[in-house]
Amino acid sequence: MAAPREPLLVGIDVGMTCTGVAYIIRSPAIEMVEPRTIQKWPGNGTVPTSLSYRRNKIYWGFQTQQEDEDLEVHDWFKIFLDKREYEKFRLRGDDVPPSHADVKAYYRDFLKMLYAHIKKMLGTELPALSFGDETIEFIFSVPTTWSPGVAEDLRTLAREAGFGQDGVNHSVEIGLTEAEAAAVCTLGTESERYTDGDIMLVVDAGGGTTDLALLRAEVKQGSRPTLKQLDEVRGDEIGSVEIDVAFARLAEERLLQAAPYIGLEPSSITSVIKKMCKGGFKVIKEEYGTEDSDHLHVRAIVIPGVAGHLSSEAGNIQKGKLMLKMSDMKRMFDTQLEKMYRLIDSQLNRMRTVAPHDQVKYLVLSGGLGSSEYVFKQLEKRYVHERPNVYAPYLRIVTTNYPHLAVVKGLLIERLQKLKFTKSVLRVRKCRQSLGILCEQLYDPARHKGAKLKVDPTDGLTYAVDQISWFIRQGDLIETESIERGFHRNLAKGAPREPYESRIVLCNSRTGPLPSSMREDGVELCCVMKSDLTAVDVKNFEKVKKHWWQFKKKPTYYKVVYNIRFMINAANIESELWFNGKKYSMPNSFQVQFESGMWRPRPKEHLQERQQQLDLAL
C-alpha cells in the first residue's frame, strides 16, 4: 500500500499594501528544505494588494500601476473587511469604498486573480505536480485585531474566489495571527540566536496594523524549539498606510494652492496624489532613515501631468516637482511611532502580571513598516538608550531575516512542524477572549432573579433561559487540541424532529466576574450552531419512562445527549459534532453561522492607559 502523499502547503498573507505567497512540499519527487516564496507576478517583486476594473476586465497587482487616467484603482481595503472598522472610517469622513458589500467584492476579485496566478506558478515551478489530485492546504494569516467572525468571512471569500475548489483534497485554513506567524518564522529561521527561557516581544508593523506577541522560547537539547505565549496577542491601526494618508493630506493642501499656476485641474488632484504615493513618495518613505538619505533636508517628488518647467511659490512647487521637507516626513513617521510606543509600553508593562520575575530580552521587528531604518533607530534610541523599560533593561532590537515575508513563512513553518512532529512551534497559547454557551439552567430563585423562565413540556420542570456556561476564559492557557462540551435536549415521544440550535457567546472583559446571562453588559453573540440528529434512530437515545405510580410525572420522553468539540485556534474557532463517542459526519448535520457583524472590538488597553495618564495630569 502506497504511503499517503504529504500535502502541499501554500501560505498567503494578504497585506494592506502588498500580498505575499510561499509554499512548501516534502515528497520523494520534490524535496524542499524551507518555504519557497512566489516572486514572479504580473510585474515583479511582491504583489500590491490592489485591483481595478475596465470593460468587464479585472486588473490587479502591478497591472494597476500603469499610467492610465481612466483606471480607478481600489486598494487599502484590507482592514475594512471588519465592518466595524469600515463604519468607523466612513463616519470619520475618510476615503472608503462605497459600501461594505464593495469591500467584499474587492476581496473576492483580488483573491480570484491571486488564486489563478498561484495555480499557474505552481504548475510552472513544480512541473511534477498534479494540481487537482494533490492534497493542498491554502493557509491564510489574519491581523490580531480581527475577530473569529471576520476571519471566517475571509475564508468564505477565499472559497468563493476558487481556493479549495479544484480538488477533493483542497482546503482553506485560517492559520496564525500575523504577529504569531512572524514569531514562528523568527524562531524557525534564527533559532541559534535564542536560548531556553528567552522572552521576545514580536512587533509586526505592516501597512494597516501593528500586531504584538509576547512569547518565551523553549529550546531544549534534543527537541525542536517551541514558543509559549505569555499574553494574548494585541494590535492597533498603526502602519505605513497612515504615513501615506498624512502625505496625501499635505500634498492636497499644497497642490490646491499651486493648481492655478501649474496648470493642474483641481478635480484631478486626488488621482495625481495616489500616483505620487505609489511613485516618488514610496521611494522616499522606504529610504528615510538610511545613511544615504540622512544628509538630505528636502526631497523632490514628480507631480504626474505637470510640465517640468512649471513652478509655484504657493505650495512650494519647483520645476514640476513637489518639494517635501524631511521635517514633514519625520512628523509623519513620528505620529505612527508615538502610537507604537504606547502599544509597546503597555505590553512591556503587562510583564508585571504575566511574568513579574523575568525580563524581555528581544524586540523583534517584522513587516513593511518594521523594516524601516528610521523605525529601527527610533525604537533603539527609546528602549535601549534613553528610556529602558524596567521589564526590559537590556533589550536588544533585531529585525527578522525576511521582514516582508516573515508572516507567510511562519504560517508554513508552524503547519509543517505540526504535520511532521504532531507538535506546534507555538506550543502554548493564551485565549484571546472568554467563550461560553447560552443554555437553560434549572431554576433557582436565589441565582436567577429576574431571569426569563420557561417550563419544559417534556419533564415539567422550570428553567431559566439565556444563561451562560463559560467553557474557557480570557487568558487561559491553551495546550490541548480541543475542548469538548456535552449537550442534552429532551425529545417528547412521537414529537416532530428538528435540528438543535446552540448559541456561542464571548466576552472581552479581563477583570471582574463574567456575566451570567445575556441580559448583562459585555456579552456578544459569536456564532450559532445547528446540530441535526434527526437521522438517528430514537433507540440510540436515553428513554426516560413514566412509572405507573408517578401520576404527576409527564409522559415518557427521550434524552438526546451529544457533544460539540471546539478547536480554539490562534485566529478562529472551529467545531465538530460528536455523538456516541464518534464524530458525526452525516451531510449537513452540523452547520455554523458566525455573527461577524455582532462583534464588539477588544478594548485597546494601551489607549485606556494613556487616557488615564491624561486624566491624572489634568
Count Cα neighbours of 515 within 13 Å in the Cβ-side half-sphere. 23
Contact predicate 209/141, CB 8 Å: no
Q: Is the pLDDT of residue 596 over 70?
A: no
pLDDT of the residue at 571:
79
CATH code of 8-177, in short, is 3.30.420
279: cell is 511613485
pLDDT of the residue at 191:
82
pLDDT of the residue at 617:
44
Nearest to 500 by CA among 515, 483, 486: 486
* 52-61: long-range pairs with CB below 8 Å, 24+: 58/109, 58/112, 58/113, 60/109, 60/110, 60/113, 60/114, 61/113
What's the whole-number mean pLDDT along residues 292-301?
88
Burial class (CB in 10 A: 0-12, 13-18, 19+), 308: exposed
Q: Is the pLDDT of residue 309 over 80?
A: yes
Q: CB count, 10 Å around CB of 445?
A: 8
User: What SS3 state is found at 235?
Assistant: strand
What percent of the chain clears pLDDT 90, i.e. is strictly above it? 47
pLDDT of the residue at 520:
87
Enter the DSSP assignment of 392.
B
Cα–Cα distance for residue pair 568/522, rounded to 1 Å:
20
- What angle do the packed helices 326-349 and 240-262 form, to 10 degrees? 160
By DSSP bridging, strand 50-54 and strand 47-48 are unpaired
Enter the DSSP assignment of 308.
T
Cα–Cα distance for residue pair 566/575, rounded to 1 Å:
4
pLDDT of the residue at 116:
94
Enter the DSSP assignment of 541.
S
Q: Is the pLDDT of residue 235 over 60?
A: yes
Residue 26 amino acid letter? R
Residues 107-120: pLDDT tens digits? 999 999 999 999 99
**Between vectors from CA 209 to CA 208 and to CA 210, what angle results, nearest 5°?**
140
Residues 37-55: pLDDT tens digits? 887 775 544 788 888 888 7
Asked which of 127-136, 297-306, 328-337 is least confident by mean pLDDT, the reply is 127-136
Nearest to 182 by CA among 440, 355, 370: 370
Residues 599-613: pLDDT tens digits? 444 555 555 555 555
- What angle do the packed helices 280-287 and 269-278 form, to 10 degrees? 40
> Average pLDDT of the chain?
87
pLDDT of the residue at 600:
45
Burial class (CB in 10 A: 0-12, 13-18, 19+), 23: buried
Q: Residue 576 forms beta bridges with which residues? A: 565
483: cell is 475542548
What's the whole-number mean pLDDT along residues 529-557?
77
Cα–Cα distance for residue pair 332/244, rounded to 1 Å:
9
pLDDT of the residue at 492:
86
Residue 6 amino acid letter? E
Contact predicate 263/310, CB 8 Å: yes
Contact predicate 530/499, CB 8 Å: yes
pLDDT of the residue at 67:
63
Cα–Cα distance for residue pair 206/76, rounded to 1 Å:
12
Q: Which helix (H) or strand (E) holds 606?
A: helix 605-617
322: cell is 513637489
Residue 87 amino acid letter? E
The owner of cell 491624561 is: 614
Question: Is 191 or 547 the better-scoring residue by pLDDT?
Answer: 191
Cα–Cα distance for residue pair 84/75, rounded to 1 Å:
18
Contact predicate 430/477, CB 8 Å: yes
pLDDT of the residue at 553:
58
Residue 147 amino acid letter? S
Q: CB count, 10 Å around CB of 149?
A: 23
By DSSP bridging, strand 557-568 and strand 426-430 are unpaired
Question: Is 332 or 131 the better-scoring residue by pLDDT?
Answer: 332
Q: Is the pLDDT of residue 253 over 60?
A: yes
Nearest to 395 by CA among 411, 409, 381: 381
Q: Is the pLDDT of residue 88 over 90?
A: no
Residues 394-440: pLDDT tens digits? 999 999 877 888 999 999 999 988 888 888 888 888 888 899 999 88
DSSP readout, 431-490? -SSEEEEEEEEE--TTT-TT--EEE-TTT--EEEEEEEEEEE-TT-EE-SS-EEEEEEEE
Question: Is 333 or 544 the better-scoring residue by pLDDT?
Answer: 333
Contact predicate 103/86, CB 8 Å: yes
pLDDT of the residue at 307:
93
What's the whole-number mean pLDDT along residues 60-85?
81
Residues 485-527: pLDDT tens digits? 888 888 888 888 999 898 999 888 767 789 999 888 888 888 8
Burial class (CB in 10 A: 0-12, 13-18, 19+), 492: middle
pLDDT of the residue at 70:
65
Cα–Cα distance for residue pair 12/154, rounded to 1 Å:
12
Nearest to 408 by CA among 3, 38, 28: 38
Given pLDDT bands bounded at 50, 70 and 90, which one contains residue 476?
confident
Contact predicate 402/409, CB 8 Å: yes
pLDDT of the residue at 376:
96
Contact predicate 94/14, CB 8 Å: no
pLDDT of the residue at 42:
59
Asked which of 31-40, 366-375, 380-389 is least confident by mean pLDDT, the reply is 31-40
Q: Is the pLDDT of residue 583 over 80?
A: yes
Residues 174-185: pLDDT tens digits? 999 999 999 999
Residues 185, 187, 193, 196, Cα dihedral to 10°: 170
pLDDT of the residue at 597:
42
Taking the alpha carbons of 487, 490, 494, 496 in that order, is the dihedral positive or negative? negative
Domain segments of the chain as ranges: 8-177, 241-333, 433-598
434: cell is 472568554
Q: Is the pLDDT of residue 593 over 70?
A: yes
**Between vectors from CA 460 to CA 458 and to CA 462, what angle results, nearest 5°?**
120
Residues 157, 162, 164, 166, Cα dihedral to 10°: 160
